[in-house]
Amino acid sequence: MDEASLNSSLIDRIVDLLQIDQSYLFITGAGISADSGLPTYRGTGGIYDDSNTEDGMPIEVALSKQIYEKNPKITWKYLGEIEKALRGKMFNRAHKVLAEIEHHFERVWILTQNIDGFHQNAGSKNVIDIHGDIHTLRCTTCKFQKWVKDFSGFLIPPCCPKCDAFLRPDVVLFGEALPLEKISSFQTELNKGFNCIFTIGTTSVFPYISEPIKIAKGLGYPTVEINPDTTEVSHLVDIKLSLNAAKALNLIWSRYQENNFY
């Protein structure tokens, strides 16, 4: 069987998993935003593939709690580069398909590692952005918080208009704990169970990203991975579709609509 025929067969199997009265979890990573013109992180061509930044440290160190507390200008420098890469970009067909799926099926949730806000912008409501949103700034001392379109015109690091302490994007830096309220929300939904779990565009290197796949595998629930690369969970999933997210989800949703006259 050639690659096109294999992919078509896999898409048919995935479409057969989609039932209107069932529940689905979609776990997404940087790969789902790649078709919006954003680089992935650890995949092919990822921005973390280079050994060191121009400041002589790996990007994970530059974007760490330790460096932020010692020299916030360094962390802000690279957060600013990430934010600048987002300017003028918007959600793509993959994000839009997931929003349409949420509105069509009984219960759909998205757990995303992305900090770009594209899922929400595309219309998804049930989104747990476990690593935060780069456009939300919060004070490191008081409760001040605001949403900003971009970082242009900022003094780096910017100061809080209320107490003059530093502001920072409300994102999880390396070495920081995940936000408890988001972990709790995700655990609540996970405890309710899902009929199928999809992992899309993530290398699944973090345990909290790969664990739902392992749980589903143990319980006998079907799992699907959409990723052109081999990842930490590729050997576990029931269906592995080696396409980029936008192409794969568009093909899946188009075939579902054809089959269900929707």
pTM: 0.92
Among 101, 135, 99, 147, smallest CA distance to 119 is for 99
CB neighbours of 105 closer than 8 A, spacing ≥ 6?
18, 19, 20, 21, 22, 23, 24
Q: Do residue 80 and residue 98 come from a single domain?
A: no
Q: Do residue 28 and residue 11 come from a single domain?
A: yes
pLDDT digits (tens, 9 = 90+) for 225-256: 999 999 999 999 999 999 999 999 999 999 99
Where in the sequence is the domain holding 145, given as residue range(s)? 59-87+137-171
Q: Which value, to the nearest 10 degrees, does the dihedral of the CA atoms of residues 70, 46, 83, 208 take?
A: -70
> 3-state class of 114 per DSSP?
coil
What whole-number distance in Å separates Cα of residue 208 and Cα of residue 150?
Answer: 29
pLDDT digits (tens, 9 = 90+) for 54-71: 888 888 899 999 999 999
Q: Do residue 109 and residue 239 come from a single domain?
A: yes
What whole-number distance in Å separates Cα of residue 80 and Cα of residue 75?
Answer: 8
pLDDT digits (tens, 9 = 90+) for 21-35: 999 999 999 999 999
- Tell whether 52 is covered by a domain: no
DSSP state of 194: -
Active-site residue 131, yes or no? yes
- From the list 95, 119, 131, 135, the catalytic residue is 131
- Tell whether 158 is covered by a domain: yes
DSSP state of 178: P
Residues, the chain: 262
Q: Do residue 97 and residue 214 come from a single domain?
A: yes
